[in-house]
Structure 1
Amino acid sequence: MLISSQLPNLHTFVVVAEQLNFSRASDLLHLTPSAVSHQMKQLENHLDVKLFIRQSKGVALTSEAKQLYGSVKKAFSEIEFGIEKAQAPKVKKLVIAAIPSVVSCVLVNKLAELQALLPNYQIHFISQHQIVNFEQQNIDCHIHFGNGKYAHSVAEKLANEVVYPVCAPNVYEMRHQLPLIHYAAGMEDKPGGISWQHWQKHFQLPTIPAQFVFDEVGLTLNAAKNGVGKALAWHQLVKPLIKDKQLKRIGETQITLPFSYYFVTPKCHTQRVELSILYQWLQAQFARAC
């Protein structure tokens, strides 16, 4: 049975089955009602199956027609999808793994710049704390916070990191009395993160427990922005908020963290132009002053 010869009739059949009316189907198909009726008769003869039950207003589908409609509709949908996919412009994909706080605090407001630099790329961000296993994961690079020593990979430093206290500008005059807001360092920050207890011990200050504790960097900074208290902030994450005067640094003292931000790629990817563009752009983001 040569189905290809019946493709026009099958297409008309789908429209009739959805409209249940030859006249309405003919309007949609830009055919005469008699032409639609003729095509359906041809299809019934070819299949040797009755497809329609004529009624006073339109038609009804036989059980065989209902079964045929489901299969043909699915087939035409797959054909349309295949045509759209074939005609679609080829999109290159760049998959970037990163610790979530860097994406949300440093990069998310600057992505238009990156899009302008890599206009033909679809950029995927994947939250990942542990260093990427490039042999097992389909990821092109990793913005990581660590010591820069990664087996079978190339690590290029982006920036060091320091920590200092911040609070909202409208409560700055009360900075010495403000409650302490603590970020309970997650996997991404250990063992690089520090707590208020570390801060107090380092500068030989009285031990005062934190009153509010959050397990996410963004929530910690939002609490500080809202004047809830003062928080220990990572410079690279908080400097956009300081620039926008949503937070204010308290004093000049700071602690340098033992780890740094790195741009990590597999050794076989070091010559890729798009990764070089991304690295230079990331360097510029981290290098921007407050």
Structure 2
Amino acid sequence: MQLPKLTGSVLSGLHCFLIAADQMSFTRAAEILCLTQSAVSHKIKNLEDSLGVQLFIRQPRKLLLTEEGKRLKAVVAQNFGDIAHELRDLKTLELSGDFNVSVPPTFAQTWLLPRLKHFIDKYPALRFHLRTRNDLVDFQTESFDCAIYFGHGKYAGLHSEKLMDESMVPVCSPQYAQEYYLHNNPDLLINCMLLHDAAPWARAGRNDEWQYWAQTNGIQLPENSCTFDRADLALQAAENGLGIAMGRHSFVDQQLKDGRLVVPFDMAVQSPLSYYVVCRQDATISPRIKAFQEWLHSEIAEF
């Protein structure tokens, strides 16, 4: 496929095409671009005419990419991502401007937020934008400077720097431990209600954390369970006496100190996963990311 002269119309059409191909809907693309559906359809048709190829197979209530469309989407996503990051870096080479970070929800709530004021006070010219999610960021098409992942640390085409390891241990309310005679009796776990974080990390199974802990310790798990889409909800349910949850050290430190949660049997295991700061390979020299990493390491050293 040979691209004609890159006029403003063609560039506008390529951007419109990328949004439509990502959404697989002219209607949703129109909403994102603040255009009418007919305007989006017109831009795509003009682009197809300029290229001399069909990019979409238009079916009733459904769009499909042609092979040419798939190829073009891959190229445009890569290059538009590069342009967006370069433009932002040109504007914010100093420690100022917008700084966009993706963080797992419970890690953000229980560990990062109580410390975040220290970072913002240290770099007041940065406008910090925090977004929480368990799934991985698409750094080619999404405007994130970096992300914190809980995982194995290997992400194709990306740079990752280890922050800290994690350990995990079952936790429950003091009353629940007493009611089920759990203190130093891990075999009685079979009588309990298990509280699961159904999404402890990207692409995890709903009971992966409990299964790993049980296999490591040779403990049989009960059938009764409740699942939640965030670890903090499972921990809050445990605090309210609903059952027993798997607590990561970074999540339950304060609740254990306050006595809101207890460890009925001290059988902590080292998690197979750790926390990492992840960014594009070409963003490792970013002053903002370097400052954020250094601050994170200093906070972890005091944790």
Q: TM-score, normalised by structure 2?
A: 0.58
Distance 1:158 1:99, change over 3 A: same
Post-superposition shift, 1:123? 0.7
Q: Is the 8 A contact 2:200 2:231 kept in 1?
A: no
Query: For this pair of structures, how many residues does the alignment match?
Result: 199
Distance 1:150 1:117, change over 3 A: same
Separation (CA, whole Å) in 2 of partners of 1:180 and 1:276: 43
Q: Is the 8 A contact 1:168 1:227 kept in 2?
A: yes
Q: Secondary structure at the match of 1:252?
A: coil
Aligned counterpart in structure 1 of residue 273 of structure 2, from 246, 251, 259 = 259
Q: Which residue of 2 aligns with 1:165?
A: 170
Separation (CA, whole Å) in 2 of partners of 1:250 and 1:187: 22
Q: Secondary structure at the match of 1:243?
A: helix
Q: Secondary structure at the match of 1:233?
A: strand
Q: Secondary structure at the match of 2:272?
A: coil
Post-superposition shift, 1:144? 0.7
Post-superposition shift, 1:185? 2.3
Separation (CA, whole Å) in 1 of partners of 2:134 and 2:196: 16
1:29-48 matched pairs, under 5 angstroms: none
Distance 1:195 1:182, change over 3 A: farther
Distance 1:135 1:211, change over 3 A: closer
Distance 1:211 1:154, change over 3 A: closer
Q: Which residue of 2 aligns with 1:103?
A: 108
Distance 1:199 1:152, change over 3 A: closer
Q: Is the 8 A contact 1:181 1:231 kept in 2?
A: yes
Q: Which residue of 2 aligns with 1:213?
A: 227
Give, as a single letter, the amino acid of the residue that structure 1 aligns with 2:269.
I
Separation (CA, whole Å) in 2 of partners of 1:206 and 1:95: 43
Q: Is the 8 A contact 1:96 1:126 kept in 2?
A: yes
Q: Which residue of 1 aligns with 2:258?
A: 244
Give, as a single letter, the amino acid of the residue that structure 1 aligns with 2:144.
I
1:283 aligns with 2:288: no
Aligned counterpart in structure 1 of residue 192 of structure 2, from 172, 179, 191 = 179
Q: Which residue of 2 aligns with 1:222?
A: 236
Aligned counterpart in structure 1 of residue 283 of structure 2, from 265, 269, 284 = 269
Q: TM-score, normalised by structure 1?
A: 0.60
Give, as a single letter, the amino acid of the residue that structure 2 aligns with 1:185.
A
Give, as a single letter, the amino acid of the residue that structure 2 aligns with 1:251.
F
Post-superposition shift, 1:137? 1.5
Q: Is the 8 A contact 2:196 2:210 kept in 1?
A: no
Q: Which residue of 1 aligns with 2:80?
A: none
Instruction: Write out per-residue CA displacement over residues 176-210 of structure 1, whole angstroms, 9 at most, x where no aligned residue.
Output: 16733321421735448635455444423344223
Separation (CA, whole Å) in 2 of partners of 1:170 and 1:128: 32
Q: Which residue of 1 aligns with 2:145?
A: 140
Q: Which residue of 1 aligns with 2:247?
A: 233
Q: Secondary structure at the match of 2:267?
A: coil
Q: Is the 8 A contact 2:159 2:279 kept in 1?
A: yes
Gaps of 5+ in 2: 1-95, 183-187
Give, as a single letter, the amino acid of the residue that structure 2 aligns with 1:183.
H
Separation (CA, whole Å) in 1 of partners of 2:298 and 2:242: 32
Instruction: Write out per-residue CA displacement over residues 81-117 of structure 1, whole angstroms, 9 at most, x where no aligned residue.
Output: xxxxxxxxxx711000111121112112222112112
Identity of aligned residues (%): 27
Q: Which moved more, 1:92-101 or 1:280-289?
A: 280-289
Q: Is the 8 A contact 1:182 1:195 kept in 2?
A: no
Q: Which residue of 2 aligns with 1:204?
A: 218
Distance 1:207 1:168, change over 3 A: closer
Post-superposition shift, 1:211? 4.1
Q: Which residue of 1 aligns with 2:49?
A: none
Aligned counterpart in structure 2 of residue 152 of structure 1, from 130, 152, 157 = 157
Q: Which residue of 2 aligns with 1:94?
A: 99
1:188 aligns with 2:193: no
Q: Which residue of 2 aligns with 1:130?
A: 135
Separation (CA, whole Å) in 1 of partners of 2:166 and 2:198: 15
